[in-house]
Structure 1
Amino acid sequence: MWDLTPGIFEDHSQKYSINFGHFPPAWEQSVKAYVWILINNETPRPVQGGPSSPKPLALSSIARLPTHLRRLVSWFDERGYDSLQGASPSVLDRLLAEVGETGLGFTQKRQIITETRRLWVYRDIVPQQLRLPDASPWQEETAGDLLAHRHRRPGNLTPRIGDETLVPLLAWAFRFIEDFAPDITAAYREYCALLSRGHRHTPAGARETPAPGSRKPILHAVLERLRDLGLGLPGQPGPDGDPVINWCHLARLTGFLGATHALYDRDVVVGSGLGVDTDSYLTTRCTAQLDGRLWHGPFIAWEEAIPLAVHLQTACFIVIAYLSGMRPGEVLNLQRGCHNENPRTDMHELHGTRWKSARNREGAKIPEGQIRQNPWIVHPMAARAVDVLEDLHSMDLLFPRTLRPQAVRWYTPRADGRAGNGQTTPKTTGDIASFIRWVNEYCARRQHSDSIPDDPDGRITPSRFRRTLAWHIVRRPRGLVAAAIQYGHIADLVTQGYSGSYDSGFPNELAMERWLERIERITDIDHYLEAGGHVSGPAAEKLRERTGLATAKFAGRTLPTRRQADKLLQDPSLQIFKGDGLHCVFDQATALCARDTDRPNLGQCRSACSNIARTDADVLEVQTARDRLSQDHLAPPIRHERTRKVSDRLTEIIIDHEQGLP
Structure 2
Amino acid sequence: MNTPSTRTDLELGPSIDGRYVLTGLWLRPGYSLTDTSQFRDDAWRLEAAVTQAHVRSVVVNFDTLAAPYRLPAKELCLAMLSGPLPAGERRQSVVGIGSTFVEVRKFLHWLTDRAPESGRPSVPTLGSLTAADVLDYHRHLMTLSVGFGSRENSRRAVCMLWRYRTCLTDTLSFDARRIDGWTMHKPGTTENATGRIPELVLGPLITWAIRFVDDFSGDILAAAAHRDDYRSRRTNGRYGRNSGAAEALEHYLSRHKAENDPLPGYQGRPNMQQIAAEIGTGRNGLDTNPAIRGKVLACAARVGVTDYTWMPIAIEGRLHGRPWIDGIARQHPTKSYLHLQRMLHIACYIVIAFLSGMRDAEIKHLRRGCLSTARDTDGTPYRWTLTGVAFKGEADPHGVTAEWTVGAPAARAISVLEKMHPHGRALLFSHPPGSQKVRPRNDATVGVLTTKATSGQLKDFAIWINSYCTEHALTESIPLVNGQQWVLSTRQFRRTLAWFIARRPGGSIAGAIAYRHLSIQMFEGYAGTSDSGFRAEVEAEQALARGEDLMAIATDHLHAPVTGPAADLAHYRLDTFAAAAAFSGTVITDSTRIKRLMKRSDPAIYPGTFALCVFDPDKAMCQPRPDQGGNVLPQLGHCQPLECSNTALTTANLDALRTEHHHLEQELTTRADLPPLLDHRLRERLRRLVDFLDRYSHADPYIDRTHKGKR
Give your verdict on TM over 0.5: yes
Contact 1:12-1:420 at 8 Å conserved across structures: yes
TM alignment of 1:300-339, pairs within 5 A: 300-303=329-332, 304-339=336-371
Alignment correspondent of 1:246: 271
Confirm or deny that 1:63 pairs with 2:91: no
Cα drift, residue 427 of structure 1: 1.0
Residue by residue over 1:442-487, the C-alpha shift from the partner in whole angstroms, topping out at 9 and shown as x without a partner, is 11111112112245583111111111111012225xxxxxxxxxx9
Q: 1:435 aligns with which of 461, 470, 482?
A: 461
Cα drift, residue 302 of structure 1: 4.1
Cα drift, residue 210 of structure 1: 3.4
Within 2, Cα distance between the matches of 1:402 and 1:42? 42
Q: 1:208 aligns with which of 222, 239, 249?
A: 239
Q: 2:416 aligns with which of 371, 382, 388?
A: 388
Alignment correspondent of 2:372: 340
Q: 2:523 aligns with which of 509, 512, 515?
A: 509
Within 2, Cα distance between the matches of 1:250 and 1:143? 70
Cα drift, residue 432 of structure 1: 1.5
Q: 2:294 aligns with which of 248, 267, 278?
A: 267
Within 1, Cα distance between the matches of 2:75 and 2:695? 89
TM alignment of 1:432-581, pairs within 5 A: 432-455=458-481, 458-476=486-504, 495=510, 502=516, 508-509=522-523, 512-513=526-527, 516-521=533-538, 579-580=606-607
TM alignment of 1:166-315, pairs within 5 A: 166-198=202-234, 207-211=238-242, 214-223=244-253, 231-237=261-267, 243-264=268-289, 265-272=292-299, 273-303=302-332, 304-315=336-347
Within 1, Cα distance between the matches of 2:612 and 2:62? 60
Of stretches 306-315 and 453-462 in structure 1, the one that deviates more from structure 2 is 453-462
Cα drift, residue 92 of structure 1: 2.4
Within 2, Cα distance between the matches of 1:357 and 1:596? 35
Contact 1:286-1:300 at 8 Å conserved across structures: no
TM-score by length of 2: 0.64
Percentage of identical aligned residues: 26
Alignment correspondent of 1:480: none
Query: One-letter code of the match for 2:416?
Result: V
Contact 2:524-2:534 at 8 Å conserved across structures: no
Cα drift, residue 226 of structure 1: 5.7
Cα drift, residue 284 of structure 1: 1.5
Unaligned runs of 5+ in 2: 1-42, 545-568, 574-603, 627-632, 656-693, 701-711
- 1:282 is paired with a residue whose SS is coil
Residues 578, 73 of structure 1: CA spacing in aligned structure 2 closer, same or farther, 3 A cutoff? farther
Confirm or deny that 1:15 pairs with 2:57: yes
Alignment correspondent of 1:561: none
Alignment correspondent of 1:39: 81
Of stretches 105-114 and 456-465 in structure 1, the one that deviates more from structure 2 is 105-114
- 1:209 is paired with a residue whose SS is coil
Q: Give the RMSD, CA atoms, in angstroms.
A: 4.6
Q: 2:434 aligns with which of 387, 390, 404?
A: 404
Query: One-letter code of the match for 2:276?
Result: A
Q: 2:385 aligns with which of 349, 365, 381?
A: 349
CA radius of gyration, larger in: 2
Query: One-letter code of the match for 2:607?
Result: D
Residues 183, 29 of structure 1: CA spacing in aligned structure 2 closer, same or farther, 3 A cutoff? same
- 2:428 is paired with a residue whose SS is coil
Residues 295, 353 of structure 1: CA spacing in aligned structure 2 closer, same or farther, 3 A cutoff? same
- 1:348 is paired with a residue whose SS is strand
Residues 127, 448 of structure 1: CA spacing in aligned structure 2 closer, same or farther, 3 A cutoff? same
- 2:394 is paired with a residue whose SS is coil
Within 2, Cα distance between the matches of 1:610 and 1:139? 61
Query: One-letter code of the match for 1:250?
Result: I
Alignment correspondent of 2:447: 421
Alignment correspondent of 1:3: 45
Within 2, Cα distance between the matches of 1:100 and 1:289? 56
TM-score by length of 1: 0.69
Alignment correspondent of 1:370: 400
- 2:170 is paired with a residue whose SS is helix
- 1:352 is paired with a residue whose SS is strand
Residue by residue over 1:152-178, the C-alpha shift from the partner in whole angstroms, topping out at 9 and shown as x without a partner, is x65221111111111111111111111
Cα drift, residue 217 of structure 1: 1.7
Within 1, Cα distance between the matches of 2:254 and 2:133? 84
Within 2, Cα distance between the matches of 1:393 and 1:526? 48
Alignment correspondent of 2:635: 601
- 1:351 is paired with a residue whose SS is strand
Cα drift, residue 386 of structure 1: 0.6
Within 1, Cα distance between the matches of 2:439 and 2:447? 16
Within 1, Cα distance between the matches of 2:620 and 2:393? 42
Contact 2:49-2:94 at 8 Å conserved across structures: yes
Query: One-letter code of the match for 1:342?
Result: A
Residues 639, 473 of structure 1: CA spacing in aligned structure 2 closer, same or farther, 3 A cutoff? same
Within 2, Cα distance between the matches of 1:14 and 1:294? 39
Aligned residues: 530
- 1:420 is paired with a residue whose SS is helix
Contact 2:86-2:164 at 8 Å conserved across structures: no
Within 1, Cα distance between the matches of 2:148 and 2:625? 43
Unaligned runs of 5+ in 1: 47-53, 238-242, 360-365, 477-486, 528-535, 540-576, 613-621, 629-635, 643-662
Contact 1:9-1:419 at 8 Å conserved across structures: no
Q: Answer 1 or 2: higher relative contact order, Cα 8 Å, separation at least 6.
A: 1
Query: One-letter code of the match for 2:535?
Result: R
Residues 253, 143 of structure 1: CA spacing in aligned structure 2 closer, same or farther, 3 A cutoff? farther
Within 2, Cα distance between the matches of 1:638 and 1:96? 69
Residues 379, 87 of structure 1: CA spacing in aligned structure 2 closer, same or farther, 3 A cutoff? same
Residues 340, 638 of structure 1: CA spacing in aligned structure 2 closer, same or farther, 3 A cutoff? closer
Residues 88, 290 of structure 1: CA spacing in aligned structure 2 closer, same or farther, 3 A cutoff? same
Confirm or deny that 1:92 pairs with 2:129: no
Alignment correspondent of 2:168: 127
Residue by residue over 1:75-105, the C-alpha shift from the partner in whole angstroms, topping out at 9 and shown as x without a partner, is 3345524322332222222333344345666
Alignment correspondent of 2:72: 30
Query: One-letter code of the match for 2:98?
Result: A
Residues 418, 218 of structure 1: CA spacing in aligned structure 2 closer, same or farther, 3 A cutoff? closer
